[in-house]
């Protein structure tokens, strides 16, 4: 029956998006490790393999368009597909940011460290945790987890803002190391973007479950 | 714009003999809105539609409890003349059913039955109704030829013109496009969209996409009960009732 076919295709789509989510999560983990270890080889691997994510993203999108065209889904099914289209896009962007981080790591790897009074690992781990948690929320359709991600975004924004201040001071003090420091700033910026995309993911999960659009801070009224 | 209910159904129960097929239905139809009645076969939606202009009166074993108000008048009241009522509440059926007469006479029929004799008025109403039904340009040169020579889609638009000729307030449509091809269906849907500027429209359809496309409000029926009524865009994106969701997503049963 037609509806069973639709259900099969939706189940398959869910598998595809979760598999892409797992791949992207792994890229973020690799990027965070690359920051910690300044490992140029690991960074190169992230960049080299970004095409895998891109290919999967295209496949998921094509699958969504096919289901929309052939089944004209409504209600929860429609919300699922529209959420997947957006989640797909955000996941691909997260992987891009991981790749951008890798490029920065390549620049700073092997160069003498500049002492910045700041621990990148905490920020990186927070961003990674947000991606992981929003994907867990997607897997389990867990609204509470998704809302937790939204509250974390402000923390990451705050850290990024602090790093920005530190780097500015460091560039003034050590202008010869400006390039290195700018790369550090970029890493912070890319981590902050990863957290933003994780927030979008969480918002899409909430939409999928509730049918409420909670973007643009609308959720703040509810917590 | 404030919505004004044109028709209101109050605690309606309907029986075919012993079979209780509508249960305490309360529903209103706002003026200049299209309301779609949806639900699986046997849910009572067509029965309800036929209650709205007392077509069920023709079934001797049928029985109605409750009220249906057109503006503020109960259409089941003792003083109501059913012929007059049906002038105010027109109906279009699933299968186009033109009379074996000319195109002109089909549209003029309702006026003649209602005793209109003024030829120029009849002429004017026929032309206007055919224009409203988006059929005039296609038939104006053969207006006195048989209506049976028209295509299915044209016949259905002729039936809509015929219903409109007597200037009803409400137009009931029972699966008006189910026997038509996609192009004719599209024309009917365009027409419904245009007609709601003038009329209050209630449509029964099995075609979910059609309900979504043409209606402002959707009412979902199941086993003779009104399960949920809401703005169509809400019903098709986030229905409140699990039953509604199961039905419109095809997971029923």
Q: B154-171 pLDDT, tens per residue?
A: 999 999 999 999 999 999
Instruction: Look at residue A50 in the predicted model and tell me its pLDDT.
Output: 96
Which residue from A2, A72, A79 is facing B237, i.e. has the nearest CB?
A: A79
Decide the pairing of beta strands B5-16 and B19-30.
antiparallel
Instruction: Look at residue A223 in the predicted model and tell me its pLDDT.
Output: 46
Nearest residue to A111 via CA among A192, A173, A184, A33: A184
Instruction: Look at residue A1 in the predicted model and tell me its pLDDT.
Output: 45
- pLDDT above 60 (res A221): no
CA angle (A182, A94, A66) in 5-degree steps: 150
pTM equals 0.82
Instruction: Look at residue A121 in the predicted model and tell me its pLDDT.
Output: 84
Percent of chain B at pLDDT exceeding 70: 99
The per-residue pLDDT of chain B, averaged, comes to 93
Chain A partners of B231 at a C-beta cutoff of 8 Å? none
Question: Across the interface, do B250 and A75 touch by the CB < 8 Å criterion?
Answer: no
pLDDT tens column, A132-179: 999 999 989 899 999 999 999 999 999 999 999 999 999 999 999 999
Instruction: Look at residue A218 in the predicted model and tell me its pLDDT.
Output: 64
pLDDT tens column, A54-101: 999 999 999 999 999 999 999 999 999 999 999 999 999 999 999 999
Instruction: Look at residue A222 in the predicted model and tell me its pLDDT.
Output: 52
Distance CA(B93)–CA(B97), nearest Å, equals 8
- pLDDT above 90 (res A113): no
The per-residue pLDDT of chain A, averaged, comes to 91
Q: For residue A122, name the pLDDT band (cuts at 50, 70, 90).
A: confident
Q: What one-character DSSP code corresponds to residue A223? A: -
Chain B partners of A208 at a C-beta cutoff of 8 Å? none
Count of CB pairs separated by less than 8 Å, A with B: 35
Residue of B nearest to A208 (CA): B238
CA angle (A150, A155, A157) in 5-degree steps: 95
């Amino acid at each position: 029956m037609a509806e069973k076919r639709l259900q099969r295709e939706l189940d398959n789509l869910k598998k595809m998006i979760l598999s892409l989510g797992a791949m992207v999560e792994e890229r973020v983990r690799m990027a965070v490790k690359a920051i910690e270890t300044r490992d140029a080889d690991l960074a190169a691997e992230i960049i080299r393999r970004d095409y895998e994510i891109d290919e999967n993203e295209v496949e998921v999108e094509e699958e969504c368009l096919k289901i929309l065209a052939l089944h004209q889904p409504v209600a929860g099914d429609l919300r699922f597909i529209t959420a997947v289209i957006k989640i797909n896009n955000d996941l691909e962007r997260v992987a891009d940011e991981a790749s951008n981080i890798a490029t920065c790591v390549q620049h700073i790897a092997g160069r003498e460290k500049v002492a910045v009074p700041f621990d990148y690992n905490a920020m990186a781990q927070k961003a990674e945790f947000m991606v992981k948690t929003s994907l867990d929320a997607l897997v389990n359709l867990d609204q509470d987890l998704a809302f937790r991600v939204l509250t974390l975004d402000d923390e990451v924004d705050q850290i990024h803002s602090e790093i920005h201040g530190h780097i500015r001071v460091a560039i003034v003090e050590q202008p010869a190391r400006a390039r290195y420091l700018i790369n550090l700033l970029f890493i912070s910026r890319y981590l902050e973007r990863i957290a933003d995309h994780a927030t979008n993911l969480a918002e899409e999960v909430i939409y999928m479950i509730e049918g409420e659009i909670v973007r643009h801070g609308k959720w703040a009224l509810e917590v | 714009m404030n919505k004004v209910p044109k028709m209101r159904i109050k605690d309606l129960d309907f029986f075919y003999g012993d079979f209780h097929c509508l249960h305490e239905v309360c529903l209103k139809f706002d003026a200049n809105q299209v309301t779609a009645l949806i639900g699986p076969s046997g849910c009572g939606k067509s029965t309800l539609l036929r209650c709205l202009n007392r077509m069920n009166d023709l079934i001797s074993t049928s029985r109605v409890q409750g009220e249906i108000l057109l503006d503020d008048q109960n259409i089941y009241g003792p003083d109501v003349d059913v012929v007059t009522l049906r002038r105010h509440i027109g109906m279009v059926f699933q299968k186009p059913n033109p009379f074996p007469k000319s195109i002109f006479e089909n549209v003029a029929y309702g006026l003649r039955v209602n005793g209109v004799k003024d030829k120029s008025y009849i002429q004017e109403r026929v032309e206007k109704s055919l224009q409203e039904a988006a059929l005039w340009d296609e038939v104006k040169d053969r207006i006195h030829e048989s209506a049976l020579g028209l295509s299915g889609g044209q016949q259905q638009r002729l039936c809509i013109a015929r219903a409109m000729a007597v200037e009803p307030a409400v137009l009931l449509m029972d699966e008006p496009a189910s026997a038509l091809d996609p192009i004719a269906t599209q024309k009917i849907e365009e027409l419904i969209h245009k007609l709601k500027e003038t009329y209050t429209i209630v449509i029964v359809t099995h075609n979910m996409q059609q309900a979504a496309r043409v209606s402002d409000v959707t009412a979902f029926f199941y086993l003779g009960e009104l399960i949920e009524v809401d703005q169509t865009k809400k019903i098709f994106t986030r229905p409140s009732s699990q039953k509604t969701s199961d039905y419109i997503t095809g997971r029923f049963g």
